[in-house]
Structure 1
Amino acid sequence: MRNIRLHFAFSIIFIILSHCAKYCKANDSCPPTFCGSITNISYPFRLRGDPENCGDPSYELACENNRTILYLSSNRYYYVQSISYNNFSIRVLDSGLEKTSCDSYPINTPLSYYTSPELYDLGTYNLYENTPIVYTRCEAPAKSPLYVDTSSCSKNISLQKYSYVVVGDVTFADFEDSCRIHTMAWISKDFPIVANSTFSDIQDGLAYGFVILWQQDYCRECVAKKGYHCDYNGSTGTFSCVDYNYYNYYHPPCTIFEPSTFRLKHECLWEIWLELEDYWMEYGSTLEKIIGKR
């Protein structure tokens, strides 16, 4: 009987240790790994192929052709430029952009709901880390000095004549009648974009990448709580768990324009774009059929 109890006890211990070896956070026992220029890959991140007890599988990165890659869906990925464990941020580069190519073009941005909000913060607070870049197409030459001509990179079919980019905050009056928004991208505010920047300067900024925030364990636990929001403080680089009612009181819903200046607030561009993208995904196929019949 005593032997049976000992055998049972050792079996339980073995199961617990086996489970922990697979799922417990063993960041202290796992040295940082590297891929290309990214030499500090550690918990919660891990590289594909690392031991199972290293890092969090939800934050798995890939190493392909000596470049660290973040997959946010099966066919959309970003090159990792740097990881900051101090402010929980990761700087990434759209896979359609290359610093050495003038006519490179963002193919994955803006980010949207195809990634899990428990892993990466893609909301309003994330936008404070970046400068918005708006790609426009116009039927006539734009007159506003805010429009940066992209014709120098006319090899790309998406950057043809009367195509421009607008950097940063814009007012309603800045959008000329013949121009339409084509897509959007972001540049990290760590890369300075000055007045009168050329399209080449902007391309360099796009090649530098943009910042998204990854959520630490504390924040993920907060998001799992019903009725709570994980609030990021950009000045301190910390998260706090806030009741939704408190959060909504101090963070009213986004309004498109500033009432006093009628200025289009760039933090709202994110919400506008997601609404348009959501609408297109729901009704796009129907619209294409209707247009195709004409």
Structure 2
Amino acid sequence: MSRASVLFAAYTALLLLLPPSFCSQAPSNSSTTNEDNANCTLSCGNIYIKPPFRLPGQPPNCGNKAFELSCEENNTIAVLSLYAGTYYVQEINYTSFTLRVVDSDVHKSRDNYFSNPRYSLTSFNFTDTDPYDISTNPVPIIYLNCTNPIDSPLSVETAPCVNRNRYSNSSDSSLSSLTNMYSYFMVADRDGYVSSSDLGKSCKITQMVMASPSTYEFMMSCEAIYNEIARGFELSWLDYACRSICGKDDVGFCTSCPPDGTVGTWYKSIVNFVVSLLNIGLYPTGAFLSLLRINIEPNSLCFIVIISVIAYLAQFQAVKFVFGFPCVIALLVFKWRRRHLSVYDNIEDFLQNNDDLMPIRYSYSNIKKMTRGFKEKVGEGGYGSVYKGKLRSGRLVAIKMLGTSKSNGQEFINEVATIGRIHHVNVVQLLGFCVEGSKRALVYDFMPNGSLEKYIFSQQGALSLSSEKMFKVAIGVAHGIEYLHQGCDMQILHFDIKPHNILLDENFAPKVSDFGLARLCPLDNSLVSLTAARGTMGYIAPELFYKNIGGVSYKADVYSYGMLLMEMAGRRKNLNATAEHTSQIYFPTWVSEQLSEGNDIEIEDTTEEEKKIVKKMIMVALWCIQLKPGERPSMSKVVEMLDREIEGIRMPPKPFLYPQQMPESTEIS
């Protein structure tokens, strides 16, 4: 036997004897590393600050800028700034890579139960690019204000903890209004769910925070909940530590690495040596592995061992090809699967990282039972099909079965991430969802009167609403969009307001639906960045096409609402190529000219009062569809204008479709 064969067999045996946890069995830190850390260690109160944490002004080699803290109140309190919020550091555990923080307002007023956290924060705020993530499964705590009392096993009334007498002499209107409300905590169940049926219809979510309790029973009283909020919650930087020390990739191996830089060298030296040995007997496979040696993982060593044995046994080129080629193909497939997550993996990652979602997760078998085998289809679109179903309680539901995704499941994620967290009388309620492989479904309340589209564009008045009812629908839709823009802890931009996405319940109360194109952004963000226009032609705001008229913001939804309102008032499409007169092809321009000239808008079979309502809707719509976003009102202003008498609304300027139509004196350069 040759010397190379002996070395080859010896190192194959060595690899077989390596323990699975060899990544954690690394040499201890060098003295140089210890000295560097000692020079970078500072104290802030009883908190020791050392790498990866740092304080402002420390040398660049001390810690990471992403983990910078500040030391305040005469160097007694370490402060962490997180998502525009201020949190006081209670404890840093460098062994478990965790730190516990608490909202600054709660820390200052821990003896005052009425002092709620100042900042809303949930696990949904955290992304893969953040330096921190949630250490344990946090329990979401939802603050509710209700006009009527609710009865739910997950709700805890805050009244026993609030000393209202302290504020009886206060002139603060917000406190006065609060005393006329019912205030609750809503805490997720043991599985991390909050059913939408537990939220009363008169309730509004005012805040969402997190707690990291030691036991689930902390939710049994408001005193215990306040105490857990005062304890704060844990954040982890384990992901950063492993990625920087052990070469951790996005799959998540090596989660117990020691805080030193020797593990990567120890591991790579073994892999590189084994790959070099493979070059002795299996040239094609060895050369291929040489290209991949940097990316091979510890749990892939079994592949190396198998190939080593094959190389030792393969004495002829034919044998080498028969055994070596399949191994190369297997490794190629392995690497490709790792680098190309499917749409279903993206959705599962989203659901695992957002365990505070309120809707219920159903199995596909439950969905089939609800729809009686998808027996009654009630609608169909580019997203898939909608079926009528029934829950075991007898409640009717509409189940949207999503088709093949063209954007890695982003429509599903958008829908659950936005509508799954809110509750409003003019927004459709998401009761649950289903994700099983390629099967994706969304479960909503059933709307027996269908979409608004068939009442606006019905042929020869087959389905019609009076002007008063249409006006009430318009106000309801405005309230729903206003809530999306201002009523949540995150601003929700819909980007697809149109008649087809406005559903009507049994009382013709409107519900904004279909959040597949929605975007979440902080309330203080005035502009959003989009890579491409989104929405439906005829309702898309012009700034999504023409960048020189202004940035994209919530005003895009205002424009879409204006186009919808114009169609509701005129009972016709805004763009009608078959109109009797060419001047009436684009309805908004024609109706604006009529109003400017003092002409009345003639509508058949309407009273004078109904004519006033239609004229008011048209004037408000003209304000909403102004070309420049800055000249459009907010949705709050739109609601206010609709509530006014028509005499109190100024005549809007003539609307333009695109910048080239504008006079040179007003066009933006």
Task: Give your verdict on TM over 0.5.
Answer: yes
**Which of 100, 118, 121 is equivalent to 1:110?**
121
Structure 2 CA distance, aligned partners of 1:178 and 1:248?
A: 36
Aligned partner of 1:290 in structure 2 is 638
Structure 2 CA distance, aligned partners of 1:270 and 1:210?
A: 22
TM alignment of 1:38-57, pairs within 5 A? 38=47, 40-57=48-65
Q: Secondary structure at the match of 2:554?
A: helix
Structure 2 CA distance, aligned partners of 1:25 and 1:213?
A: 23
Structure 2 CA distance, aligned partners of 1:211 and 1:60?
A: 17
Structure 2 CA distance, aligned partners of 1:113 and 1:147?
A: 22
2:100 is the counterpart of 1:91 = yes
**Which of 234, 243, 250 is equivalent to 1:229?**
250
Aligned partner of 1:71 in structure 2 is 81
Q: Is the 8 A contact 2:213 2:228 kept in 1?
A: no
2:249 is the counterpart of 1:197 = no
Aligned partner of 2:240 in structure 1 is 216
| Identity across the alignment (%) | 27
Q: 1:113 to 1:27 in 2, by over 3 A?
A: farther
Aligned partner of 1:163 in structure 2 is 183
**Which of 65, 69, 75 is equivalent to 1:61?**
69
Q: Is the 8 A contact 2:136 2:212 kept in 1?
A: no
Q: Is the 8 A contact 2:141 2:187 kept in 1?
A: yes
Per-residue Cα deviation, 1:217-242 (whole angstroms, up to 9, x for no partner): 5437999x9xx736489xx667x996
Q: 1:56 to 1:110 in 2, by over 3 A?
A: same
Q: 1:145 to 1:246 in 2, by over 3 A?
A: closer
Structure 2 CA distance, aligned partners of 1:173 and 1:119?
A: 33
How far did residue 131 of structure 1 move?
1.0
How far did residue 188 of structure 1 move?
0.9
More strand by percentage: 1
Q: 1:143 to 1:212 in 2, by over 3 A?
A: same
Q: Is the 8 A contact 1:45 1:61 kept in 2?
A: yes
TM-score (norm 1): 0.68
How far did residue 51 of structure 1 move?
3.4
Q: Secondary structure at the match of 1:194?
A: helix
Per-residue Cα deviation, 1:187-211 (whole angstroms, up to 9, x for no partner): 1133x34166221111110000012
Counterpart residue identity of residue 250, structure 2: H
Q: 1:222 to 1:29 in 2, by over 3 A?
A: closer
Q: Is the 8 A contact 1:222 1:230 kept in 2?
A: no
How far did residue 70 of structure 1 move?
0.4
Question: Structure 1: any 5+ residue segments left out of the alignment?
Answer: 1-23, 263-267
Counterpart residue identity of residue 78, structure 2: T
More helix by percentage: 2
Structure 1 CA distance, aligned partners of 2:233 and 2:144?
A: 20
Aligned partner of 1:174 in structure 2 is 198
TM-score (norm 2): 0.33
Q: Is the 8 A contact 1:136 1:182 kept in 2?
A: yes
How far did residue 48 of structure 1 move?
2.2
Structure 2 CA distance, aligned partners of 1:182 and 1:164?
A: 10
How far did residue 117 of structure 1 move?
4.7
Aligned partner of 2:360 in structure 1 is 257
Structure 2 CA distance, aligned partners of 1:220 and 1:245?
A: 23
Q: 1:269 to 1:27 in 2, by over 3 A?
A: farther
Q: Secondary structure at the match of 1:87?
A: coil
Q: Secondary structure at the match of 2:115?
A: coil
Structure 2 CA distance, aligned partners of 1:291 and 1:34?
A: 54
Q: Is the 8 A contact 2:72 2:78 kept in 1?
A: yes
Q: Secondary structure at the match of 1:30?
A: helix
Structure of greater Rg? 2
**Which of 122, 126, 131 is equivalent to 1:120?**
131
Q: 1:232 to 1:93 in 2, by over 3 A?
A: farther
Q: Is the 8 A contact 2:131 2:240 kept in 1?
A: no
Q: 1:206 to 1:244 in 2, by over 3 A?
A: farther
**75-84 vs 270-279, greater mean Cα deviation:** 270-279
Q: 1:189 to 1:114 in 2, by over 3 A?
A: closer
Q: 1:222 to 1:31 in 2, by over 3 A?
A: closer
Aligned partner of 2:44 in structure 1 is 35
The alignment of Structure 1 onto Structure 2 pairs a total of residues equal to: 254
Counterpart residue identity of residue 283, structure 1: Y
Counterpart residue identity of residue 197, structure 1: M
Structure 2 CA distance, aligned partners of 1:193 and 1:69?
A: 28
How far did residue 43 of structure 1 move?
0.7
Structure 1 CA distance, aligned partners of 2:220 and 2:155?
A: 10
Structure 2 CA distance, aligned partners of 1:59 and 1:258?
A: 36
Q: Secondary structure at the match of 1:45?
A: coil
Structure 2 CA distance, aligned partners of 1:69 and 1:230?
A: 32
Q: Is the 8 A contact 2:212 2:234 kept in 1?
A: yes
Counterpart residue identity of residue 68, structure 1: A
How far did residue 46 of structure 1 move?
0.8
- Comparing both chains, which one has the higher relative contact order based on Cα–Cα distances under 8 Å and sequence gaps of 6 or more? 1
Aligned partner of 2:171 in structure 1 is none
